[in-house]
Structure 1
Amino acid sequence: MLSLLCCVLLLSACGDDDGATLPDASVAIDAGHDGGAPDAGASDAGSDAGGCGVRVTATIGPEGGTLAHCDGASLVVPPGAMSSAAELSIERVASPLAPVSPYVLAGPAFTFDAPGVLFSDSVDVVLPHDGGQRMEMAVQGEEEWIFFESCEVTETTISQSFRALGTFVALHDPTPYPERLTGLGEGRIDFTFGGIDDEIDVDPEGHAIDEDPGEGRTLTLLFRRSAESLVQVDLRFTISPEGEVTPAQIQHYDGSVGEIWSADVFAWPDDLAVTITRDEAGAIEGTVDATLHYGPDQTRPFTATFSARSELYRYPPERACELPEG
């Protein structure tokens, strides 16, 4: 969810189709200093000075090269990305911003800088991390870290391609999420669609999940039945930081005819009426009174009552090496 926002905010930072591959640098510049081994990293790894000089610099030109910080960060400039030689720098941040819950720092934060340089090709920002699941990369905004999809994650580093630099860090979510999505949660929906009554349970093929905990999240209730032909009802809600639940989308799919009927708050806000409550024990109850759409002209009424109990889940981050230009 937030990765898309980052691409909007960092239009100039998004690489092109060739930005996914780490190039073979024609000049390898080790800009680290002697002074100890790199910091192994931890959830609070950005709070100390590290194992070498805080700031390292090197001059790189049109031939390309790699600037490496001995704490594990590097900047890979492919040949032709710079029109003339300029000084580039990597500086370890002494006191990085704290990420929003449930994320923790997975390594030091670094500021990458190339004053006055306009890269004509994507350069690769490589960061160290201390391991863990759901590793993500973020760039510092005015008051918070802005997440985006990383290109590649190894056992010790995370990387992505950019045409603009800034302050970057590796973050990860230590929450022990379930490995499988199918069957999470429980619930039941009784509904009438197109004059036909039906009922479907969440278990064992659907799921009831709270996604993306933190400042805002999504509640998804997927009621699915595959006997004879697949039939499913997908209810999605947004949950504000204050806990207010707002309907976002309803879909009905019938595999016997291959039709998806839907209504969402953006296209048809007046056709989507939902009430939903959740008590202190987590039990969810609600009603739906909607008009679903199929194609440009067809509509059908959809009414339902539902109950559910959700589980916490977050989809693993995707790996997008070919960020769009804008």
Structure 2
Amino acid sequence: MPLTHRLTLLSPLCLLLAACTDPGTTTTDGSATAETTTSTSTSAPTTDAAPTTSTGSDTTDTAGTGDTTGVDTTGVDTTDGDTTTAGGECPPVTQLLGPAGGELTLCGATLRVPADAVAEEVLFGIEVIDPPADPPFEQEFASPVFRFTPDDVVFAQPVELILPRPVTDSRISLGRHVPEDDAFWIVEACDVTDTTIGQSYYQLATYAALRGTYDYPDSTSDLGEGTIELEILGVPASFPIDASSFGIYADAADGSRTVTLKSVREVDGGFESLRIDFAVDSTGDVANLVAVEWLSTVDAGGYTYIADLIGSDGVITLSDATGDHYAGELSAVAHGGNPPHDEPLQATFDVTVEKFTFPPELSCMGGGG
């Protein structure tokens, strides 16, 4: 099962108060932290447009002396079209910044270093570079590719980076280049406006704004149909996929997909909800159970199974996988209740799902903006 399926599922758990950290970077306490991502790989077309002149000016110190001089640079028109070319018109900017912090700008990109992010002067910089890898699956570059430096220092306070983005109805995301994978990963962007997209990090890297090439529905409302028959605590329960629920799938570049089923039903004295996530390989025949979560406002709180993390013995078998229709059965040993204990559950399902993926910023505090 691809790792991207697991990390996509766990994205709602990434509710970080200060910043979302990068994959494999280190937090201030020295512990490694994995960042939420969505699928990577394969190319998507990019269409370049000539940059227009920026109204601002930047400071440049190519010698790294810390003595900056103001020079006019050209920026990126983010009102429409693509914003993927600017390297020749945007010479790199660098500046020594110490404990007092400071700010650098280049071609619509901004790097803001707060006070006490570093204990001594550090040379910060922004440069526009050629894309080191293709954009992720079903994405295209919507800004120049910016390298923010230093990219080998962990800061005491998160530094903020802001990238320009075009005004468009298409979904805009933030992409981070991961050298060890030679790929861009979509990461959370908790500061999104009509013309910019940004986030705060404890460590810098190479970033670009991304535009989705697939026109997703605005929400999960009315997506999917069918029924899930669940048995847990020895009691059967029927969960419909209807207007108050959803059945969705997300494709990956290798032809595999992740399916998510979510249903809420009224019961005497409250509500019960059921969520099932499973991955299907490129043949459409082999499935892996990723997670099951049953919650109740009435009985025992709820039970959860997450592959290799919570519970055990998760198995799913498909009896039909024709197009966007899935039928089959699953079982798992979930963990929960009060006092906490293991509880077996099983379910059969017959559903039709529709294509949708959640915006990464939903992992941010407040659900993104």
Letter in 1 for 2:145: A
- In structure 2, the partner of 1:140 is 177
Letter in 1 for 2:25: L
The one of 165, 170, 183 aligned to 2:209: 170
* Distance in structure 2 (CA, Å) of the matches to 1:247 and 1:309: 17
Does residue 289 of structure 2 align to residue 247 of structure 1?
Answer: yes
Letter in 2 for 1:53: C
* Distance in structure 1 (CA, Å) of the matches to 2:343 and 2:202: 48
The one of 255, 258, 264 aligned to 1:218: 258
2:243 partner SS = coil
**Percent of counterpart pairs with the same letter?**
27
Shift of 1:313: 1.4
CA 1:56 to 1:287, structure 2 compared with 1: closer, same or farther past 3 Å? same
* Distance in structure 1 (CA, Å) of the matches to 2:297 and 2:151: 57
- Structure 1: which 5+ residue stretches go unaligned? 15-27
- In structure 1, the partner of 2:128 is 92
CA 1:167 to 1:242, structure 2 compared with 1: closer, same or farther past 3 Å? farther
- In structure 1, the partner of 2:359 is 316
Shift of 1:96: 4.3
1:279 partner SS = strand
2:317 partner SS = strand
Query: Is the Cα–Cα contact under 8 Å of residues 152 and 319 in structure 1 kept in the other structure?
Result: no
- Choose 1 or 2 for highest CA Rg: 1
- In structure 2, the partner of 1:268 is 311
CA 1:163 to 1:242, structure 2 compared with 1: closer, same or farther past 3 Å? farther
The alignment's TM-score, normalised by the length of structure 2, stands at 0.69
Shift of 1:92: 0.6
- In structure 1, the partner of 2:278 is 237
* Distance in structure 2 (CA, Å) of the matches to 1:274 and 1:114: 46
- Structure 2: which 5+ residue stretches go unaligned? 1-6, 15-19, 30-56, 61-69
Once the two structures are superposed, the pairs formed by residues 107-118 of structure 1 within 5 Å of their partners are 107-114=143-150
CA 1:94 to 1:193, structure 2 compared with 1: closer, same or farther past 3 Å? closer
CA 1:43 to 1:9, structure 2 compared with 1: closer, same or farther past 3 Å? farther
* Distance in structure 1 (CA, Å) of the matches to 2:155 and 2:258: 38
1:318 partner SS = helix
Q: Which shifted more, 150-159 or 54-63?
A: 54-63
Shift of 1:150: 2.1
- In structure 1, the partner of 2:36 is none
Shift of 1:233: 3.4
Does residue 324 of structure 2 align to residue 282 of structure 1?
Answer: yes
Aligned Cα root-mean-square deviation (Å): 3.6
1:158 partner SS = strand
CA 1:209 to 1:56, structure 2 compared with 1: closer, same or farther past 3 Å? same
Deviations 1:26-47 (A, max 9, x none): xx9644743655344877633x
Q: Which shifted more, 119-128 or 303-312?
A: 119-128
* Distance in structure 2 (CA, Å) of the matches to 1:134 and 1:316: 8
CA 1:36 to 1:194, structure 2 compared with 1: closer, same or farther past 3 Å? closer
Deviations 1:135-170 (A, max 9, x none): 322321120113322231122222222333221111
2:200 partner SS = strand
* Distance in structure 2 (CA, Å) of the matches to 1:6 and 1:98: 22
- In structure 2, the partner of 1:21 is none
Deviations 1:218-277 (A, max 9, x none): 31122432264423433221345665420122334444435423444323332x332124
Which of structures 1 and 2 has the larger relative contact order (alpha carbons within 8 angstroms, sep 6+)? Answer: 1
CA 1:173 to 1:292, structure 2 compared with 1: closer, same or farther past 3 Å? same
- In structure 2, the partner of 1:209 is 248
Does residue 79 of structure 2 align to residue 45 of structure 1?
Answer: no
Shift of 1:186: 0.4
Letter in 2 for 1:176: D
CA 1:80 to 1:320, structure 2 compared with 1: closer, same or farther past 3 Å? farther
- In structure 2, the partner of 1:22 is none
Letter in 2 for 1:276: L
Does residue 10 of structure 2 align to residue 10 of structure 1?
Answer: no
- In structure 2, the partner of 1:127 is 163
* Distance in structure 2 (CA, Å) of the matches to 1:134 and 1:115: 28
Q: Which shifted more, 261-270 or 124-133?
A: 261-270
- In structure 2, the partner of 1:306 is 349
* Distance in structure 2 (CA, Å) of the matches to 1:101 and 1:145: 10
Shift of 1:108: 0.6
- In structure 1, the partner of 2:198 is 159
* Distance in structure 1 (CA, Å) of the matches to 2:344 and 2:288: 20
Query: Is the Cα–Cα contact under 8 Å of residues 76 and 164 in structure 2 kept in the other structure?
Result: no
Matched length? 306
Query: Is the Cα–Cα contact under 8 Å of residues 6 and 146 in structure 1 kept in the other structure?
Result: no
Letter in 2 for 1:34: D
* Distance in structure 2 (CA, Å) of the matches to 1:29 and 1:300: 61
CA 1:67 to 1:273, structure 2 compared with 1: closer, same or farther past 3 Å? closer
Letter in 2 for 1:309: T
